[in-house]
Amino acid sequence: MRDLIYYVACTVDGFIARPDGSVDFALPEGEHLTDLARSFPETFPTHLRGAFNIAGPNRLFDTVLMGRKTYQVGLDAGFTNPYGHLRQYVFSRSLARSPEPNIELVSSDPLPFVAVLKRQPGLNIWLCGGAELATVLFPLIDELIVKVNPVLIGSGIPLFSGGTGQAHLTLLSTKAYENGFTLSHYRVKPLHIDHHTRNSLSPSPSASSPK
């Protein structure tokens, strides 16, 4: 079973974006970026791989999951195929068809769909975000890697957008950089899954499944 890892940047007060969706609080340069490119190369968009000397096969992730609003940020900037080196799934009930052959649109319930995806062979699955998708997929998240920018922004889109319930985390590693950026890697401790959630994780015959 491969892991679903929510790898995400946020502020010290826990926001992944400003209320308007912008992420201009993220430190644009510094030693942390070189380190992240080395440790998590697949999470850099395809068009930036050259600038960060990223080459070669994927090591950690081979799949990325995006909510439609997260995908839309790149789309609005002209990037229809942001992570061409990964299998890309965009969850949406509003998009009629994919703007790009490499992007698979998923309009069915994300939970059973991703439960099947996790059982397929391969590298880990990167849950890119945003908060809405992360909230829906909360019961399936195995690890959380939080990149905390040393800033408070007061309001915005939080790590999770709704009632996720509670989880205990085991800290696997943490790293602090001189510029104040920190990286914390947690494993979610297994929780009791209630009857309703367990049933919703069993794909129904009509549910679409990953190819």
Ligand X SMILES: NC(=O)c1ccc[n+]([C@@H]2O[C@H](COP(=O)([O-])OP(=O)(O)OC[C@H]3O[C@@H](n4cnc5c(N)ncnc54)[C@H](OP(=O)(O)O)[C@@H]3O)[C@@H](O)[C@H]2O)c1
Query: What are the structure tokens assigned to 117, written together?
Result: 């995806």
List the helix and strand counts (H, then E) for the chain. 5, 10
Decide whether 32 or 68 has the Cβ nearer to ligand X: 68
Interface region with ligand X, contact rule CB under 6 A, candidates 5-13, 56-64, 77-85, 164-172: 5-13
Phi (first) and psi of residue 199, to 5 degrees: -65, -40
67: alpha, beta or left? (left if phi > 0; alpha if psi -120 to 50): beta
Interface region with ligand X, contact rule CB under 6 A, candidates 2-10, 172-180, 185-193, 202-210: 2-10
Is residue 173 at the binding interface for ligand X, with CB under 6 A as the rule? no
Is residue 8 at the binding interface for ligand X, with CB under 6 A as the rule? yes
- For residue 130, whether the previous peptide bond is cis, meaning omega lies within 30 degrees of 0, is yes
Residue whose token pair is 């949406």:
92
Q: Which DSSP string do the residues of 73-131 spell out, in sequence order?
A: HHHHTT-SSTTTTSEEEEE-SS-SS-SSTTEEEE-S-HHHHHHHHHHSSSSEEEEEE-H
**CA–CA separation, 108 vs 111, rounded Å?**
9
Decide whether 55 or 88 has the Cβ nearer to ligand X: 88
User: What amino acid is encoded at 37 in this protein?
Assistant: A
Site string for ligand X, 119-158 (x = CB under 6 A): ---------xxxxxx--x--------------------x-
C-alpha dihedral sign at 82, 34, 147, 5: positive
User: What amino acid is encoded at 207 in this protein?
Assistant: A
CB of 188 to ligand X, least distance (A): 18
Q: Which of 1, 78, 94, 154 binds ligand X (CB under 6 A)?
A: 94
Site string for ligand X, 22-51 (x = CB under 6 A): -x----------------------------
Site for ligand X in 49-78 (CB under 6 A): 67-70, 73
Decide whether 168 or 202 has the Cβ nearer to ligand X: 202
Interface region with ligand X, contact rule CB under 6 A, candidates 28-36, 53-61, 88-96, 115-123: 88-96
Is residue 9 at the binding interface for ligand X, with CB under 6 A as the rule? yes
Element (H, E) at 39: helix 31-39
Is residue 17 at the binding interface for ligand X, with CB under 6 A as the rule? yes
Residue whose token pair is 């703007």:
99
Q: Return residues touching ligand X (CB under 6 A).
A: 8-10, 16-17, 21, 23, 67-70, 73, 91-95, 107, 110, 128-133, 136, 157, 161
